[in-house]
Chains A and B, each alone.
Chain A
Amino acid sequence: MAKTLAEKVWDRHVVRRGSGAEPDLLYIDLHLVHEVTSPQAFDGLRLAGRPVRRPDLTIATEDHNVPTVGIDLPIADPVSRTQVETLRRNCAEFGVRLHPMGDAEQGIVHVVGPQLGLTQPGMTVVCGDSHTSTHGAFGALAFGIGTSEVEHVMATQTLPLRPFKTMAVTITGELRPGVTAKDVILAVIARIGTGGGQGYVLEYRGPAIEKLSMEARMTVCNMSIEAGARAGMIAPDETTFAYLKGRPHAPAGELWDNAVADWRGLRTDDGAVFDAEVVLDADELTPFVTWGTNPGQGLPLSATVPDPERIADENERVAAEKALSYMDLVPGTPLREISVDTVFLGSCTNGRIEDLRAAAAVIAGRQVADGVRMLVVPGSMRVKAQAEAEGLHEVFLAAGAEWRQAGCSMCLGMNPDQLAPGERSASTSNRNFEGRQGKGGRTHLVSPLVAAATAVRGTLSSPEDLVTASAGGTNTAASAQN
């Protein structure tokens, strides 16, 4: 029977089929761990006298809490420090590999896994973090879990789960210069809504997806959860194999050939039926930004703040009214006229080297606008080292931006990198929820290109606006896409 990619990966991990109401028992190939959602799981193991069954399929990193300046000093916040120290003790006790603050491989868990070559096609990958969907870019079935499930995976290397439904998200056509993976996924979420993906694995496909780099594919899959989906996937292809080849944990020699032969079969069969389908035309997409307080409340940058009065659905209208009140926005205002206090470039969505290159190309030779603070936070120490080898840090510093250490940082403000009440940001992260970046903070989700242009102009902007504003400007708009 013809199968979808998600069904193929599912089927090869079924340890035991459930009967009746009982779920399947699914084997987990890779368990990623960080300091926030693991302490209670390790505690549970200790109470029950259970070991971590497969420490060799488990890896931990410190990311959510870590400061992005002064990392050679003890963490100032005692509660954050306790959480990080607890992870260190737990990893030592249970034999789990850990990349702590300051380590060359430390970084955001979803940046670290792929760059080490640990994320590979056809695997099942879990983490106590909803953005685990990132790893689906490799054709892995990767999804976020809660702490009880973290403990379950530690104890058994399996999870009891009922099969997910499948949705094809086909992006036809070709992205225009200056339109990026971030714009694609924001447009997808605006189309299907924050609940539209509930119960589904989204498989992104079509010519516009096939042309994306691995890092851009990760950006797309990363935000699948913002459409409510359990996971996002993209079938592995030559781009995937080229990215993986030679990475520390990728197979080598004969094993590599065997692996690639196997991976080539990881595609949705012709004639396989998805439970739902959505089609977007890449040619029609332009830079996309959010105006509200959930990631589905987004519009093209050229649009104006929507008028709730015109929204027919009562729940959506009330939600829009509450969002505009929180965001302090007036219907009809052009999005390009919204001024920001802070620009955040980073996160597991857009904190990889291509994201930094794209933003640097826009900002090179320009200045961050007066009164605007720009934080550049590489997704991992390896990304940071690479950027510094390319001189990108000098570009950002010369423009007046702050060049930081790796971590989740202002994406969720668990460390000191937060918005003050009432402050407004353009952020390359993934969530614009109320208070996400700091209590009372207001977030507009944007691509790295829009983030960089916004930093220069001080209002939500695309690189095209810079070219128009300064005749004889650079060629950034066209060349800086990822």
Chain B
Amino acid sequence: MEPFTTHTGVGVPLRRSNVDTDQIIPAVYLKRVTRTGFEDGLFAAWRSDEHFVLNQEPYRAGSVLVAGPDFGTGSSREHAVWALSDYGFRTVLSARFADIFRGNAGKAGLLAAQLEQSDIELLWKLLETEPGTEVTVDLREKTVRAKEFTAPFAVDDYTRWRLLEGLDDIGLTLRHAAVIDEFEQARADYLPVTTPIAGA
């Protein structure tokens, strides 16, 4: 995974709460078996509306999404994160993220940064009055800056460390393979296995 330290890009104000993962990418776009190419499904229903923010210059080239609370609710599809990344977003700012979305983002290198809703509102106003304003998201300092605007954001320390170092989760876990082996030896003997049972 590519390390994430700081990112500067055009901010995109998305004035919606409860942006669920079916809005981020509808199910019909989930049929690819590859890991890339999901940008065409991003906000598919809304992008057919010419007034949608991503259809406006200069937001079209945005890479910092500033969204309402409860972003990423619903389905566990990591395709939602891939669609945002494939489109060009490196970070999403919101006052509240759905748990699975935030987890997926951290695994796939998209920074989900949590700001106070009052700060989100200030950013929305700034980005709407001065379209094209660049926003800097600094993961080392845990701050968001844009013109005179500065605000702290929250991200859990472990995700921050992994993103800063660009570390692969599976590699980290496999360092503990011996402990996993040991745990497996002690599991209860009545626990099921999926091996087919004759006559069942």
Q: Is the CB of A151 within 8 A of B170?
A: yes
* B176: chain A residues within 8 A (beta carbon): 15-16, 25
Q: What's the Cα separation between A198 and B17 when bound, in Å?
A: 15
Residue B6 at the A interface, CB < 8 A? no
* Interface check A228, CB cutoff 8 A: yes
A199: B residues at CB distance < 8 A: 99
Which residues of B sit under 8 angstroms from A97, Cβ to Cβ?
A: 194-196
Q: Is the CB of A250 within 8 A of B192?
A: yes
Which residues of chain B (103-120) have a CB below 8 Å from chain A?
Answer: 103-104, 107-108
List of B residues within 8 angstroms of A155 by Cβ: 170, 173-174
User: If A144-B76, A194-B18, A195-B70 touch, does A255 touch B190 (CB 8 Å cutoff)?
Assistant: yes
B27–A194 touching, CB < 8 Å: no
Q: Which of B30-38, B133-141, B144-152 contacts A (4 or more CB under 8 A)?
A: B30-38
A29 touches B191 (CB 8 A): yes
Q: How far is the CA of A443 from the CA of B169 in the complex (A)?
A: 38
Contact B77 A37 (CB under 8 A): yes
Contact bitstring A39-61, B, C-beta under 8 A = 1, else 0: 11001000010100001111100
Of B55-63, B122-130, B154-162, which stretch is located at the interface? B154-162
Q: Which of A76-84, A340-348, A353-361, A362-370 contacts B (4 or more CB under 8 A)?
A: A76-84
A27, B180: Cβ atoms under 8 Å? Answer: yes
Indicate if the CB atoms of B169 and A434 lie closer than 8 Å. no
A308-319 contact mask (Cβ, 8 Å, vs B): 1 or 0: 000000011011
Interface residues as binary, A122-161 with B (CB distance below 8 Å gives 1, 0 otherwise): 0100001110100000000000111111011001111010
Cβ contacts A56-99/B at 8 Å (1 or 0 each) = 11110000110000000000010110110010000000000100
Q: How many whole Å from A122's CB to the nearest CB in chain B?
A: 8
A431 at interface (Cβ–Cβ under 8 A)?
yes
Neighbouring B residues of A79 by C-beta, 8 Å? 31-32
A39-B33, A146-B81, A433-B20 in contact; A117/B76 too (CB < 8 A)? Answer: no
Chain B residues 70-85 with CB under 8 Å of chain A are: 70, 73-79, 81
Instruction: Say yes or no: A198-B173 contact (C-beta < 8 A), given A79-B31, A97-B194.
Output: no
Most chain A CB within a 10 A radius of its CB, from B16, B31, B74, B197: B31
A249 lies within 8 A of B99 (CB): no
**Interface residues on chain B, number (Cβ under 8 Å):** 63
Q: Is the CB of A433 within 8 A of B183?
A: no
Q: Are A158 and B30 in contact (CB under 8 A)?
A: no
Known contacts A22-B158, A146-B77, A194-B70; decide if A48 and B170 are in contact (CB<8 Å): yes
* Count of chain A residues with a beta carbon within 8 Å of a chain B beta carbon: 88
- Evaluate contact between A15 and B180: CB separation under 8 angstroms: yes
- Knowing A83-B31, A149-B107, A413-B28 touch, does A120 contact B192 (C-beta < 8 A)? yes
> Which of these, A39, A57, A58, A156, contacts B170 with CB under 8 Å?
A156
Contact between chains at B30 and A414 (CB < 8 Å): yes
| B107 → A minimal CB distance (Å) | 4
Is A452's CB within 8 Å of the partner chain B?
no
Chain B residues with CB under 8 A of A230: 99-100
Interface residue? B23 (CB, 8 A) = yes
Question: CA–CA, A97 to B192, complex, Å?
Answer: 14
- Which A residues are closer than 8 A to B by beta carbons? 15-16, 18, 20-23, 25, 27, 29-30, 36-37, 39-40, 43, 48, 50, 55-59, 64-65, 77, 79-80, 82-83, 86, 97, 116-118, 120, 123, 128-130, 132, 144-149, 151-152, 155-158, 160, 162, 194-195, 198-199, 225-226, 228, 230, 248-251, 255-256, 258-259, 262, 294, 315-316, 318-319, 322, 412-414, 431, 433-436, 439-440
Using A21-B156, A79-B31 as known contacts, list a sample of 15 further A-B pairs with CB atoms less than 8 Å apart, ordered by residue number in A. Answer: A25-B176, A25-B180, A83-B33, A97-B195, A120-B192, A144-B100, A145-B103, A147-B104, A195-B69, A198-B99, A258-B190, A259-B190, A294-B18, A433-B22, A440-B45
